[in-house]
Structure 1
Amino acid sequence: MSEIRHVSVAPTRTQRLAHGAAIDAHRHDDHQIVYAARGVLAITTDAGSWVAAATRAIWVPAGTTHAHQAHGELELHLVGLPATNNPLGLDEPTVLSVGPLLRELILAYTRAPHDDSPERTRLRAVLLDQLRASPQQPVHLPAPTDPRLRELCAILHADPADNRTLAALGRQVGASDRTLTRLFRRDLGMSFSQWRTQLRLYRALVLLAEGTPVTAVAHACGWSSASAFIDVFRRAFGHTPGTYR
């Protein structure tokens, strides 16, 4: 990420982004909650990517260099918090579950007049209380550092439906499946199977935001049937893929 822009104060506002639009790499001295009420948002850092749709928000800690990418027409709600106010004690980007109440609080707080009125102070306090109770979600696609893993992951990024075994992919990148298994655990903190499922779910969210039919998404991302895809998607996100379309 070159030409990193520094923003001292993380804004609190509502912003719309067209499909495919991006906010270049930047960092700010405040924490920020980033929520997409419509569309799918991806945030990328040197450590990987996090993706969230309308039932998820992304916590971005102060000082984190990150870029935003819109998939589908994006209605973005940003909540800035002072670096001293970290209700969840998180020091890395994290996807959080957004229930109906927290959703309405975020929408109200980002749309309301940005003043120091008692009403706004109370609204902020309730928002932070709800944020503390928000479960963290494992919607993180970590980025590899080892050159062999980078090459393998690039192959699957280009075609998530590639169903080759780790041994077969290893022959292409010049590493044994045993070595790659160790590297996945060391570099990415998960197994090859777990990482590939995360990649496929990530890509599925993007395709759904673009209006791709569920069956087409299932096959494009490597599932053998729409029902298999729906089952994995529901277990990961608590909703069917139709919710995100």
Structure 2
Amino acid sequence: MLISHFHHGPVSAHPHDYPDGAHQERHIHREAQLLYAMCGTMRVVTAQGAWVIPPTRAVWIAPWIEHEIFMSGKVCMRSLFIDPELSPANLSQCCVLAVTPLLRELILKAVQAPRHAKNPLIQQLMLEEIASLENLPLHIPMPEDRRLQGICLALLQTPDHPNTLEDWAQQVGASSRTLARLFQQQLQMSFNAWRQQLRLMEALPRLIAGQSVQSVADQLGYGSARAFSAMFRRLLGHNPREYLSALNQLSAINASR
């Protein structure tokens, strides 16, 4: 399904709120989209992979990428739609971005007063901010090889599955060396790195929903909360409590707007 926002101008801002469990069916648009989560967690899924967007973060969706969106918790979605000709050159693929306080204010202003989104100076400032945002490791790529697809789909359904790559090799009829090589060739990461990314994606909505670090660590197959926290810090730069505290502070600021 094609959805177009071009008639609103080169940059337009749109607010949408969704209840827990809501789903935007697969669709495409000719514009690029910066999808920002004021509150709630979203998961964007394409043929190439999945991206999880915690509150106060954003996902960049390149033009003409078919995608669907799943909501976890009440979601306050704020979107910028940008003419493809104005899209930053370094954002040719989907990715999760860390939104700066300045860009957050620009997005909220644009949503509240559409004239701000039409101001050429504000447009240029928004685009420069977007181009400079930090890319966060909240992406799960999907492979093309059918053997790897079987492994990845099984883990998507059961993220705490204990199988090693050697165990999977026996099930799919390929050597562990072949599978390791295919992971690097098709996904540019090892099997263990892919599984860590998946577990991080699964952990965020659970932590944001109020589950304890220990409970989430147990659910995702970690031997201890310390091991889980170490993985979390390695991928996101903060331990779970620090990360959630920062999210809560930003969410409180957004809620007061």
TM-score of the two chains, using structure 1 as the length reference:
0.89
Q: Match for residue 214 of structure 1?
A: 213
Residue-by-residue CA offset, 1:162-205 (whole Å, 9 max, x unaligned): 22211012212222211111111122221101100011001111
Residue-by-residue CA offset, 1:116-153 (whole Å, 9 max, x unaligned): 788x4443332222212212223210112212111111
Query: Is the CA contact (8 Å cut-off) linking 2:109 and 2:116 kept in structure 1?
Result: no
Correspondence 1:8 to 2:10: no
Correspondence 1:33 to 2:34: yes
Give the Å deviation of 1:20. 1.4
Query: Is the CA contact (8 Å cut-off) linking 1:48 and 1:142 kept in structure 2?
Result: yes
Aligned pairs for 1:1-245 within 5 A: 5-9=1-5, 12-110=13-111, 112-115=112-115, 120-242=119-241, 243=244
The percentage of counterpart residues that share the same residue type is: 35
Give the Å deviation of 1:216. 1.1
Residue-by-residue CA offset, 1:21-80 (whole Å, 9 max, x unaligned): 110111111111001111111111100111121242111111111111111211111001
Question: Structure 1: how far apart are the matches of 2:117 and 2:56?
Answer: 29
TM-score of the two chains, using structure 2 as the length reference:
0.85
Question: Structure 2: how far apart are the matches of 1:66 and 1:117?
Answer: 24
Query: Is the CA contact (8 Å cut-off) linking 2:28 and 2:67 kept in structure 1?
Result: yes
The residue type equivalent to 1:28 in the other structure is H
C-alpha change, 1:56 and 1:116, in structure 2 (3 Å) is closer
SS of aligned partner of 2:52? strand
Q: Which runs of 4+ in 1 moved over 6 A?
A: none
Q: How many equivalent residue pairs?
A: 239
Query: Is the CA contact (8 Å cut-off) linking 1:72 and 1:209 kept in structure 2?
Result: no
Give the Å deviation of 1:154. 2.1
The residue type equivalent to 2:2 in the other structure is H
Query: Is the CA contact (8 Å cut-off) linking 1:31 and 1:81 kept in structure 2?
Result: yes
Give the Å deviation of 1:88. 4.2
Question: Structure 1: how far apart are the matches of 2:131 and 2:185?
Answer: 30
Query: Is the CA contact (8 Å cut-off) linking 2:117 and 2:123 kept in structure 1?
Result: no
Alignment RMSD, CA only?
Answer: 2.0
The residue type equivalent to 1:202 in the other structure is M
Query: Is the CA contact (8 Å cut-off) linking 2:90 and 2:131 kept in structure 1?
Result: no
Bigger mean CA offset, 93-102 vs 33-42: 93-102
SS of aligned partner of 2:85? coil
The residue type equivalent to 1:23 in the other structure is Q
Query: Is the CA contact (8 Å cut-off) linking 1:12 and 1:79 kept in structure 2?
Result: yes
Give the gaps of 5 or more residues in structure 2: 7-11, 249-257
C-alpha change, 1:72 and 1:241, in structure 2 (3 Å) is farther
User: More helix by proportion, 1 or 2?
Assistant: 2
Question: Structure 2: how far apart are the matches of 1:203 and 1:219?
Answer: 12
The residue type equivalent to 1:207 in the other structure is R
Bigger mean CA offset, 95-104 vs 187-196: 95-104
SS of aligned partner of 2:114? coil
C-alpha change, 1:167 and 1:237, in structure 2 (3 Å) is same
